Structure formats: structure tokens, C-alpha cells
Amino acid sequence: MLKHYASISLCLLGVSSLLSGQGVGAPPAYQPAPAPVAQAGGSAPTSGIFESSTFLESANRAFDPTSDSMNFEEGSFVWKGRSFNLTEQRAFRARLERFLLTSPSSEEQEYAVLMTDIMERLSVENTNSDEAMFETWELLFRASRFDSDGGNSTIVANQVFNAWRIRKESRGISMSQRELEQVRVTQQEIVANRQFTLRRIRERRLQQTSASNRDENETKTDGESALTSEDAFRVLDLAETEAKIIALESQTALNAMQAKIQFQSQIVSFFMQRRFQHALVLSSFYQLIFKGSQQQLEVGKDELSSFFPNTDLTFTVDTMSFVSREAINDINKGVDAVNTAYGEDRSLIALERLQETFFLGEYSPELNLIPTTQRRHLLDLYRGMIEAGDLAEAKDYNGVAEMVEQISALASDFPKNRILSSIETAKSVSDMAVFAASQYRNLGDIDKSRAELQNAIEVWPSNPSIREFQQETTKMATAGSQGVKVFDDLMGREDKRAIYERRMELGFALSSDKERLPIFTNVVDEVARIEMLVKQSEELVKQGNDYAAWEFLVEAAKINPDDGPMNRARADLAPQVADFVLHVNRAERQVDSGHYAGALAGYLAAQDVYLASRLCREGVEATANALMGVLKGEMPVAE
Amino acid sequence: MTPFKSLKNSHQRLQIIARAMLCVTAFAFTNCSDGNFSNLETLPAQQFLEKPIDFLGNTYSVRAQIDSQIKWEKGVGRILAVLPEGSSKRLPVFVAETVGDNIHIGQRFEMRVRIQEGGLVYVEALRKY
């Protein structure tokens, strides 16, 4: 048995050290027995695990400050059915907290006004002459000087400039191409003339065939070879010119394609980065620079397809403009929703909507419409909920309860009662498991005790009852070795009350002692009954029913008249019930003397003091029977 | 032959028996109501309760109201709880079957009692008052 106690103690120490080391619920050091059913209200271990997981689910739902649109496990943020890549939660939290800690400045307001101005200038409603477009382009450099811009306006400006430069180069190439075409015409004429001249010479030579063969052959050879060589050179020049023209045409086409692709790539890049204003500005420039037949997107189709699943849309720059504008509108509505919810004291809803809006419009100036005080309030709420979630994960219920109070002070729409109720339930389950573990330990069923203890630790690792259980068990293990000697000493002194008070340790010590255990059990039962009667008597005294209280003490005295606490209670109560006790004592003395008639008189007198006396009723009945027996001659009578 | 036996018929015999019983009854009634109760001392109930042994063998008068019947035994009698006049405590008395017939709760009786062994209050005679 002592080995078992030591086993439990070591187990507790191990679990305690694990808990203190990790700060959270420790993993089980062993597997509990399969679902034993505890006595006296004990719980099955599995129920505690269920309760624990139920609390965690409830706490996770309540303390998760993120919006339903966010899924950190999959790393995505869903907006209008379109999925954005969500960065890691810690990084997002850092950016959100940074936003909540900063205050909107006048510079940011100026930047917002400037960007709005740029977008309006690029609208098709306004004049889109080259001069107007150039002025708008120059504004981009002003915008890029603001910190909020992050230099992205410069990128826009560079893209536009690049497109202009390529267009200018194309113009130069076109000029060269035109010149070459003129050269080609000339060369074509030369080549054609040379061929005509050569044919005439051949015809004239044929007419002069009468000349000597030698002279003829020499003349023919010299004249024809000279003409043929020149013609060949002219043809070569023409071919070279043709090749140059083709090369220039190819370069023009390549430059145009390159400019378009760079432009479109940057638009898609801005969109994916959620820089919707810049995407919109760049799209507007694109629409002004490139002609209508070049509006179809050549790049980023795969990225855009993830935003528009199950569709065979042809993506154009207009599509990008539309979606960007829709996102900006949604950010505006989100900011309005946050401010409205906060104004109506719905801070929890405000926080959820803020996160959605913040993620979508992190780089949009519209977020500056959220005031500084509101940001600080939501920051406190956000931090509080994260801390409460961490505490819930560690099953520190007291800490969670404190945080719940703080959070509900910040957000009146927080489901405070639901969490507190879950906490109380989990605590009760853990307490019941500890109680069941104590019961099993006292009964000597160590395996079940261990399983219940494991259950209690899993549900509530910091339950103070677990430490009490540990101390109690350690004490018992220590005292158990001396239990037999102590019991013998106490029995020798007839000190049953002391045995009762040390029943836990002695019970363990004597649990395998077949000789002493029955005696020990009887003593404990006896004193327990006395204790119960004394307690009931105390309750009746509190209710002002002294005579009934006395009768309970009389019953207790019948069990063991030497019990100290019982006699103290009798001594305390005796003055209040002296008249009743006087008659009862007199009656009992008469009974002892065999004077049943006198005893009957005593009981009747006592009953006149306390009419409901059970003691008197039984006394009257007993003495009346005895007296009648005497009168019938069946019983002896005292003189 | 005795004079009683010499009577000629049973009718005459019955007449004689009835007259004799009437005389006995009249004597008894006269004897009980002739002031024998009033000559007796009243039982000091309080002192008796404290130490009944001191009163053994004495005869007293007790004027009391019947409170309850504690026990009855056929052929023996009944034990009654009575409340004596001037006392707040009830007193048990034994009424033999030969002494009283119908006794009801709440009735008042004047009783001649003798204190017997064990402090038994034995009612020797009683009458309503």
C-alpha cells in the first residue's frame, strides 16, 4: 500500500514539475485506465477530457479576435469570394497593432487628397490630352514623397515614362524605316535599270556576230562580266535594305509588346499587393496610353483566375480597374461599419470588422478615418482577447475569469456569462475528479485514483485541490508506517475520538491488517455516529429547540458516554434544559431501582416540560408496560 | 332444611336476593358519600414526584382530571395519567378493574388513593365531582 502512495506522490511531483516547467497542461505521463466509474459522485475520466475540450472550443470561439473571413491555417483571406494570400498570423498581428498604435497625421490626409485628385484627373470624364496627362504624371512624383505612398507612385510614373519612351523610340524607328523604304525604292529602280541595260547590250552584240570570233569573244567576255558584277552588287544592296526594314519592324513590335507586358505586370502586382489606388491609377494611364485593341491582359491570368474561379472571362485592364474600385468602395464601407459599431458600444463587432477592413485596405488612406481614441480602445480589446485566449489554452481558469471581466468592461457585447459558465463547469469537473481520486485512494484502489487524478489535471492543471491531494497523500504515506503503533496506543487509552480524527492515515496503515481493521472500522463508525448526532444537536440549538437538541445528545451518550466533544456539548446545553433533565434523570433512577410507578411519574412530568419528547414517550411506554406486568404479578417489584 | 331452601318457589328466592343486593348497594353508596374522602389529606403531588418512596403506605384524597389512559389490561385495570388540582404536572394512577367501569378523558374525579410499592398511586375508590 505504501508503495502505491509513493507512486501517487511521485506521479504528482512529476506532473507538477512538468506543469511548472511548461506553464501549460502537461501531457499525460501514462495512459489512464479505461473509463472507470467512480463512487460517491466521482466522474469518469473521459467526461473531464470532453469537458476540457468543450471549454477550449468555447474559449477559442469567444477569444478569437479574428474575423470569419480570415483563415490563418490556410493562410488566406476571403473577400467577396476571392482569396488573398494572408501572411503569417504573428506578422499580421504586428501590422494591425502598429496601425492601432499610430495616429492619423495631416500629412496622410494630404496624401489621401492628392491620390483622389490624381484618380479624378485620369477619369474619362476629364480632359485626357497629352498635356493634361503629363501634368497628372508629374503629380505622381509629389505623391511619392509621402511616407504613406512607399514610393509606389514613382513606380507608376516610371512605367508611364517607359511607355512614353518606347513610343518615342518607335517613332524614331518609324522614321528610319521610312528612309530605308525610300532607299529600297531607289535600289529597286537601279537593279531594274541595270537588267534593262544588260539586255540591250546582249541584243547589240548578237547583231555584230560577223566580227572575228576572237575579238568578239574577248569583247563579249569583258562587257558582260562588268555588267553582271554591278547588277549583283545592286541586288545585294537591295536585299540588305529589305533586311534592315524587317528588323526595324520586328523591333517596333517587340518594344510595343514589352511596354505593354511591363505595364500589365505592374497593374497585377499592385492589385495582388492590395495597393488598389495605385492599380487603379496605373490602369487609367494604360487605358490612355495604349489603344483599345491592346486592353486584353497578357500576364497574371493565373493569379486572376484564382479570384474568379469557374469562369471563362477574358481579363482586361478594365477588369482590374473595376475590381480595384470595388475594393476601395468596400474599404470605405468597412470603415463606416467599424465607426458605427464602436459608436453603438459594440466594440467586439467593431474589432472584427476592423480586421477585415484593415487587411483589405492596409495601404488605403481611408483607414485614417478611424480616430486615435477608438484605435487605442480596440487595441486594448485585441490584446486582452489574445491574452485570454492564451490563458484558456493553458487552462488557467482564474486568469481567464479575470481577463473576461476586463474584456467585458471594454466590450459590452462580449459573451461574458457563457465563458464564466464554462469555467465553473470545468472547475467543478476537476474538483469532482480530485474528490473521486481521494475516494478511490481511501478505498485502496490506486489505479482508479490515479486515473481520476490524471483527469483532474487535464481539465484544470492549476486546481488547488490537486496540491492538497498531493500533500494529503504524502502525509498519509509518511504516517502509514507508524499507523499500527499509533492505533494500538490510542485503543489502549480508549481514545476513540483520536482514532476517528486520524482515520485517514490509520485507515491506510491498517488496510491490510485483518485483525485491527474491523476494530478500527467499528470505532470510526461509532464516533462518526456520535459526531453526526452532536452536529444535529448543534443545528437544533441554533434553531432554538434546546430540548430536542438534548435528546440527540442523550442518544449520542448511549453510544459512548465518554466521548469528549459530546460531553462538552451536553455540559453547554444542560443549563437550558435543566427542568426537563431533572425529571428524566429522576425517572431513570427510578427505573434502575425497579420503581416503575415512580419512573412513570418522572417521565410524565418531563413530558409536561417538553411534550414532543421521544425520550419521554418511549420511557412512558416502557415503564407502563413494566408496571402493568408487576400488577399482573409477572414481574418483581422493589420495596 | 334452611329457611332459604324452604321457600316454595324461585320467584320468592329472587325477590330476596334482589332486596339483599339493594341493601348492599345502598350501604356502599352511603359509605362512599358519607364524608370518608373529605376526611383524607390531599396528596402533595410535587413532593410525591420528587420522592415517592416517602409516601408509601399512606392514603390520600386526590381531586384530578383524567388526562389520558396510558395502559389498560383486561382483568387487571388501567393506568391513567391525571392532572391533580393545583399541579402543573401529571400523575400516573392505577384504577383496578373492580373500582371503576367507565372513565372518560376530561372527567373529574375525587379519588381515595393509597401509595403502594414502587410509588404506585392505587385508586381505592373514586367518584365524579
Which pLDDT does position A485 carry in this prediction?
Answer: 85
Which pLDDT does position B104 carry in this prediction?
Answer: 92
Task: Report residue A227 as a C-alpha cell.
Answer: 555588267
For A10-63, write each residue's pLDDT tens digit: 444 444 443 333 333 333 333 333 333 333 333 444 444 555 566 666 666 666
Percent share of chain A, pLDDT over 70: 78
Chain B interface with A: residues with Cβ < 8 Å: 48-50, 52-53, 70-71, 73, 76-77, 79, 81, 88-92, 94, 116-121
CA distance to A429, A526, A528, A560, per residue, from A498 (Å): 33, 12, 12, 14
Segment (H or E) for B68: strand B59-73
Do the Cβ atoms of B79 and A595 come within 8 Å? no
Asked if the C-beta of A597 comes within 8 angstroms of chain B's C-beta atoms, the answer is yes
Which pLDDT does position A120 carry in this prediction?
Answer: 87
Contacts of B73 in chain A (CB under 8 A): 628, 631-632
Contacts of B120 in chain A (CB under 8 A): 597, 627, 631
Contacts of B48 in chain A (CB under 8 A): 601
Which pLDDT does position A360 carry in this prediction?
Answer: 82
- Of A448, A512, A506, the residue nearest A8 (C-alpha): A448
Give A260 or A217, the one with higher predicted confidence: A260
For A395-450, write each residue's pLDDT tens digit: 888 888 899 899 999 988 888 888 888 888 888 989 999 999 988 887 767 788 88
Asked if the C-beta of A600 comes within 8 angstroms of chain B's C-beta atoms, the answer is yes
Task: Look at residue A604 and tell me whether its pLDDT is greater than 90.
Answer: yes
Asked if the C-beta of A601 comes within 8 angstroms of chain B's C-beta atoms, the answer is yes
B36 pLDDT tier (thresholds 50, 70, 90): low
Percent share of chain B, pLDDT over 70: 72
Task: Look at residue B92 and tell me whether its pLDDT is greater than 50.
Answer: yes
B82 pLDDT tier (thresholds 50, 70, 90): very high
Task: Report residue A294 as a C-alpha cell.
Answer: 491592346
Asked if the C-beta of A302 comes within 8 angstroms of chain B's C-beta atoms, the answer is no
Shortest distance between the Cα of B27 and any Cα of chain A, in A, equals 29
Can you state the angle between helices A446-459 and A464-480, rounded to 10 degrees? 150
A9 pLDDT tier (thresholds 50, 70, 90): very low
B29 pLDDT tier (thresholds 50, 70, 90): very low
- Of A417, A353, A461, the residue nearest A67 (C-alpha): A353
CA distance to A111, A134, A135, A324, A362, per residue, from A115 (Å): 6, 16, 14, 14, 15
Low-confidence winner among A6-20, A135-149, A265-279, A558-572 (lowest mean pLDDT): A6-20
Shortest distance between the Cα of A433 and any Cα of chain B, in A, equals 57
Residue A50 contacts residue A43 (beta carbons within 8 Å) = no
Give A447 or A590, the one with higher predicted confidence: A590
Task: Report residue A49 as a C-alpha cell.
Answer: 477530457
The interface pTM score, or ipTM, of the predicted complex is: 0.75
Closest chain B CA to residue A582: B50
Q: What is the CA radius of gyration of chain A?
A: 52
- The mean predicted confidence, pLDDT, of chain A is 79
User: Rounded distance, CA A379 to CA A134, Å?
Assistant: 43
Interface of A with B in 576-595 (CB under 8 A): 583, 586, 590, 594-595
Low-confidence winner among A160-174, A225-239, B15-29, B115-129 (lowest mean pLDDT): B15-29
Residue A492 backbone phi and psi in degrees, to 5 = -60, -35
Do the Cβ atoms of B121 and A632 come within 8 Å? no
Do the Cβ atoms of B94 and A620 come within 8 Å? no
Which pLDDT does position A435 carry in this prediction?
Answer: 92
Percent share of chain A, pLDDT over 90: 20
Low-confidence winner among A16-20, A75-79, A460-464 (lowest mean pLDDT): A16-20
Do the Cβ atoms of A595 and B52 come within 8 Å? yes
Shortest distance between the Cα of B61 and any Cα of chain A, in A, equals 18
Residue B60 backbone phi and psi in degrees, to 5 = -135, 165
Closest chain B CA to residue A631: B76
Question: Among positive and negative, which fits the CA dihedral B15, B21, B24, B30?
Answer: negative
- Of A359, A480, A310, the residue nearest A87 (C-alpha): A359
Closest chain A CA to residue B118: A595
Residue A505 contacts residue A5 (beta carbons within 8 Å) = no
Contacts of B50 in chain A (CB under 8 A): 586
Give B12 or A132, the one with higher predicted confidence: A132
For A514-526, write each residue's pLDDT tens digit: 888 889 989 999 9
A248 pLDDT tier (thresholds 50, 70, 90): confident
Do the Cβ atoms of A601 and B91 come within 8 Å? yes
Test the B interface: residue of A607, A616, A625, A627 with most B CBs within 10 Å: A627
Q: Strands (DSSP E) along A33-170, which ranges? A: 70-71, 76-79, 82-85
Question: Among positive and negative, which fits the CA dihedral A373, A375, A376, A381?
Answer: positive
Which pLDDT does position A79 carry in this prediction?
Answer: 64
The mean per-residue pLDDT over the stretch B33-45 comes to: 72
Do the Cβ atoms of A601 and B49 come within 8 Å? yes
Which pLDDT does position A235 carry in this prediction?
Answer: 76
Shortest distance between the Cα of A538 and any Cα of chain B, in A, equals 29
Asked if the C-beta of A608 comes within 8 angstroms of chain B's C-beta atoms, the answer is yes
Asked if the C-beta of A272 comes within 8 angstroms of chain B's C-beta atoms, the answer is no
Do the Cβ atoms of A602 and B49 come within 8 Å? yes
Task: Look at residue B81 and tell me whether its pLDDT is greater than 90.
Answer: yes
B64 pLDDT tier (thresholds 50, 70, 90): very high
Asked if the C-beta of A634 comes within 8 angstroms of chain B's C-beta atoms, the answer is no
For A530-582, write each residue's pLDDT tens digit: 999 999 999 999 998 999 999 999 999 999 998 999 999 999 999 999 999 99
User: Rounded distance, CA A471 to CA A441, Å?
Assistant: 13
Can you state the angle between helices A372-393 and A317-343, rounded to 10 degrees? 90
Which pLDDT does position A19 carry in this prediction?
Answer: 39
Task: Look at residue A510 and tell me whether its pLDDT is greater than 50.
Answer: yes
Contacts of B71 in chain A (CB under 8 A): 624-625, 627-628
Closest chain B CA to residue A590: B118
User: Rounded distance, CA A605 to CA A600, Å?
Assistant: 9
